[in-house]
Amino acid sequence: MNDDLSWMLDSALEIPGALHAVLISADGLLMARTQDFDKDDADRVAAAMSGVQSLSRTLAFFCEDPSQTWRQTLVEFDGGWVFLISAGEGAYLGVSASPEVDMADITFRMQQLVAQLGKRLTTPPRENLGAHS
């Protein structure tokens, strides 16, 4: 697990009511998790969130335009919320929160994290592949 990414995800937990955060790949693999979240649970959440995102994306036609880009999914439970947003090409950020969380605060923090994560996840292209000195 990338400790720098975990540290970044931990900043989401500064919002009162935020519980856990995970960064996942589009194919459901765990990329990072908040430090207090069990790895086995985080792996299970990553796989499930990949499926939730895929199902959500297929509903674009329901908004009259199937070419629309999926941006986020919000799931409400009796005891809290799950937020899932795009975190760049092929990555998603998920955060769980208690019912008392300020939804504007947590979504704003998630957008800030996505901006920071985008810089970390983007790798510049390698040059001179195959060139010999």
Beta carbons within 8 Å of 48's beta carbon, 6+ residues apart: none
Domain count, the chain: 1
Asked if the structure places residue 130 within a domain, the reply is no
Average pLDDT, the chain: 88
90 in any annotated domain: yes
What percent of the chain clears pLDDT 90, i.e. is strictly above it? 65
Q: Is the dihedral of CA 43, 34, 121, 81 positive or negative?
A: positive
For residues 115 and 36, give the distance between their C-alpha atoms in angstroms, rounded to a whole number. Answer: 23
Query: Which DSSP state fits 127?
Result: -
User: In this model, does residue 61 exceed pLDDT 50?
Assistant: yes
CATH number, domain containing residue 36: 3.30.450.30
CB 117 within 8 A of CB 88: yes
In a domain, 133, yes or no: no
Predicted local confidence at residue 25, as pLDDT: 93
- Residue 131 in any domain: the answer is no
pLDDT per residue as tens digits for the range 3-39: 788 888 999 999 999 999 999 998 999 999 999 999 9
pLDDT class of 123 with cuts at 50, 70, 90 = very low
Q: What is the pTM of this model?
A: 0.84
What residue numbers bound the domain in which 98 lies?
3-122
Task: Determine, yes or no, domain membership for 103.
Answer: yes
Question: Is 31 part of any domain?
Answer: yes
> What's the confidence (pLDDT) of residue 127?
52
